[in-house]
Chain A
Amino acid sequence: MPAPIRLRELIRTIRTARTQAEEREMIQKECAAIRSSFREEDNTYRCRNVAKLLYMHMLGYPAHFGQLECLKLIASQKFTDKRIGYLGAMLLLDERQDVHLLMTNCIKNDLNHSTQYVQGLALCTLGCMGSSEMCRDLAGEVEKLLKTSNSYLRKKAALCAVHVIRKVPELMEMFLPATKNLLSEKNHGVLHTSVVLLTEMCERSPDMLAHFRKLVPQLVRILKNLIMSGYSPEHDVSGISDPFLQVRILRLLRILGRSDDDSSEAMNDILAQVATNTETSKNVGNAILYETVLTIMDIKSESGLRVLAINILGRFLLNNDKNIRYVALTSLLKTVQTDHNAVQRHRSTIVDCLKDLDVSIKRRAMELSFALVNGNNIRGMMKELLYFLDSCDPEFKADCASGVFLAAEKYAPSKRWHIDTIMRVLTTAGSYVRDDSVPNLIQLITNSVEMHAYTVQRLYKALLDDISQQPLVQVASWCIGEYGDLLVSGQCEEEEPIQDEVLDVLEGLLVSNLSTPVTRGYSLTAIMKLSTRFTSVNRIKKVVSIYGSTSLILYCCNDPISSWISFNFHLTECPLSVCQTFQLQLLSPSSNVVPALNQGTVTQVIRVLNPQKQQLRMRIKLTYTLKGSPVQDLAEVNNFPPQSWQ
């Protein structure tokens, strides 16, 4: 049996494959060879074969038949075997499968091995993928190693303990004694991993948190030494001494200082020092400042310190590095509620970020901008936000439109401004507004009685320009139906259209390909309503007769006084209509012909859904010809028994 090919040679061979099929063939051939090699229980080449298997696994091919082989490698005495075996275990074994438990004994032995690198392999494997059962079995060994004076092992034991605690939180207590003098270590590896371990314990247990508060002075001292110490080549990153450790200490201080006045006070000075002295020209310095800001904002810091933190974020916003701008916006979003005034000072910089090229930055800037809108800045802010709405990507338009409507509702300085703002949104982003905005806007317009003429005129003009944006068309149709008399009567400032022009526009909506069925319903209803306001009744009747024989959706005003239902004996069954307060369903009339000489009646049932229990009123209009002349009869029914709607 020739020796199995070497790993690098296999990699080279596979890379020469020109097609997926060719690659698969090579892999299958090699897998077959490896399988038979495994069957022969060959110790010499097991390591090489498993390594090849791991390569093929990374390419996406199944490698589960190598799992047991990994266990055999781990049990071997050779370091090379163990190295590959543990790597294989981490890549191929899954805590869901029981086979992983077979590792436990090997790991236990290796944790007590005479060679620290073997102990390291075992700690690493346990610390990366140890299941709860394994952690339970081996926690004692880890705890022992946490107390060793060997810093290589101690640092690994600390992170292994972190993993054990994450998997089996109840075991946290047993590690407490070993934490006693962890922070007295000089070795940065041990220090770093110890801080991680302490952080994990404090986050999970209020008792631990209370217990470790006494470490604040020591942590402050360590941090101070890092900042004040001279150049240390081993831990230097761009002129800063061990930024990784600094960031972790700042994070632990955050947890310890949270909701504790004394601790917060004890760390006040060092935080101010880090905030003012850290070099900001490179990412590493800004990473420390970022963590510092998060800590200042979370603990009970004095207001001067908080302002300092917000100002750091404000400076971040002006940084050329987009990553820095991104974290600044994210952080400001978190603090805008609690430190509103401080964040307001950076409003113009934030608004400038709306023009940023990065999508994530734009989104955050938009969210933050809405959070900063108030009664004082509404006009200026809305200008910027509407400009943003004009030019932003479609993915933002719906949210931005909603945000504008909400802000306008809360802070509109005048009704006219409010209507203008709504108009602007509908004309620039009309296709993106949410469905519920149409009835909401109709409600708003209805309530602004003095603006009716202005509103209908503006909406009419908008329709003349563009009928593609459905929400705009729907609101406009509704308004014209409701206030069409104001539109043609000369109440508007500009030249008013004549009735036929208006009807042209509405009819145009009915026939247009761009109009959805919902929009057609709106425009047809508007036309019908205009029969009470306009004089061109014949034309209206004609339109209704053409379109009325198909299904129709009626839209009623939610103002009970002008509730208006049209029915015509040409109409057949109608589906439910959409309306804020009522839903109507007209069933088929009993007949299309009313018998002459009072010889019979025609009935038509109208089902009304009135969940808000609004008062029912009905206006009836009859049009007919008598001896060749048109007659029109109007009546109102106001005496529906209260039981019918209450």
Chain B
Amino acid sequence: MMHFMLLFSRQGKLRLQKWYTATAERDKKKMVRELMQIVLARKPKMCSFLEWRDLKIVYKRYASLYFCCAIEEQDNELITLEVIHRFVELLDKYFGSVCELDIIFNFEKAYFILDEFLMGGEIQDTSKKSVLKAIEQADLLQEEDESPRSVLEEMGLA
């Protein structure tokens, strides 16, 4: 299973952190700091995998963002690269040519999409269409919540 996924910029700004194991807040901070340092120091010619503590780290850079996952010894690094890619595709489809700013200003939506794609460090659905449809429907539900009330409704007369 995936233990966690981090998204961070070249400047070391965290944009998303999803943890699938119970970890204390201060340990999370320490691990994030350490990993960001290690990954940001990697040169372009190096491979996308490295060993860290007892985990395998799989990372890939998309434009200004690093996507970084921690997987277990028995997990497949190459397919994890595909998992990262699938998540990027989902974001891209949802936001329409996604960029870092989209994820900064709509971080909660990025989380919603991730939570529809992965759960407990495993893939929920391998169909892009299915995941995007679910998000779409959930967004609609949200909109229904927020639909403006008529003046009469506001006054309690309708």
Contact = CB atoms under 8 A, between A and B. Distances in A.
Chain A bound to chain B: yes
Contact of A117 (B14, B29, B129, B141): B141
A284 B126 CA distance: 14
Contacts of B76: 247, 251, 287, 290-291, 294
Contacts of A15: 104
Contacts of A357: 45-46
Given A283-B82, A323-B77, A357-B45, A127 B119 contact: yes
B2 to A, nearest CB: 11
A170 B146 CA distance: 44
B14 A58 contact: yes
Interface string A46-59: 00000100110011
A643 interface: no
Interface in B4-41: 14-17, 20, 22, 24-25, 29
A341 to B, nearest CB: 26
Contact of B46 (A7, A327, A360): A360
Interface stretch (A80-88, A439-447, A482-490, A582-590): A80-88
A188 interface: yes
Interface stretch (B61-69, B91-99, B107-115, B150-158): B107-115
B125 A87 contact: no
Contact of A324 (B78, B126, B137): B78
A358 B47 contact: yes
B125 A323 contact: no
Contacts of A245: 126
A323 B120 contact: no
Given A87-B108, A117-B141, A323 B134 contact: no
Contact of A244 (B15, B51, B77, B82): B82
Interface stretch (A152-160, A217-225, A382-390): A152-160
B126 A117 contact: no
Contacts of A471: none
A163 interface: yes
Contacts of A81: 145
B47 A360 contact: yes
A327 B77 contact: yes
B135 to A, nearest CB: 10
Given A58-B17, A79-B141, A94 B47 contact: no
Contact of A235 (B22, B111, B122, B127): B127
A156 B124 contact: yes
A358 B47 CA distance: 7
B46 to A, nearest CB: 5
A432 to B, nearest CB: 22
B127 A80 contact: no
A247 B79 contact: yes
Contacts of B124: 155-156, 159, 189, 192-193
Interface residues of B, number: 51
Contact of B125 (A94, A115, A189, A284): A189
A283 B81 contact: yes
Contacts of A59: 14
Contact of A94 (B24, B46, B128): B24
Given A11-B104, A124-B115, A127-B120, A290 B134 contact: no
Contacts of A324: 78
A621 interface: no
Chain B contact surface mostly: helix
A360 B49 contact: yes
Contacts of A123: 119
A310 interface: no
B145 A80 contact: yes
Contacts of A95: 22
Given A54-B108, A358-B45, A237 B82 contact: yes
Interface string A290-302: 1100100000000
B134 to A, nearest CB: 7
A291 B111 CA distance: 29
A234 B125 contact: no
A326 interface: yes
Contacts of B108: 7, 51, 54, 83-84, 87
Contact of B79 (A159, A188, A291, A325): A291
B45 to A, nearest CB: 5
Contacts of A294: 76
Interface string A38-77: 0000000000000100110011100000000000000000
Contacts of A284: 79, 82
B126 A78 contact: no
A326 B105 contact: no
Contacts of A358: 45-47
A143 interface: no
B105 A11 contact: yes
Interface in A432-465: none
Given A58-B107, A94-B24, A162-B120, A188 B49 contact: no
Contacts of B77: 323, 326-327
Interface string A116-136: 010010011001110100000
Given A51-B108, A160-B119, A291-B79, A129 B22 contact: yes
A8 interface: yes
A283 B78 contact: yes
8 nearest A-B residue pairs (beta carbon): A287-B78, A189-B125, A287-B79, A322-B47, A163-B120, A159-B119, A79-B141, A244-B126
Given A244-B86, A326-B47, 5 more contacts: A58-B14, A79-B138, A159-B124, A162-B120, A322-B45
18 contacts: A60-B14, A79-B138, A79-B141, A83-B108, A124-B115, A127-B120, A159-B119, A162-B122, A188-B125, A189-B125, A193-B122, A196-B122, A196-B123, A243-B79, A247-B76, A251-B76, A358-B45, A360-B50
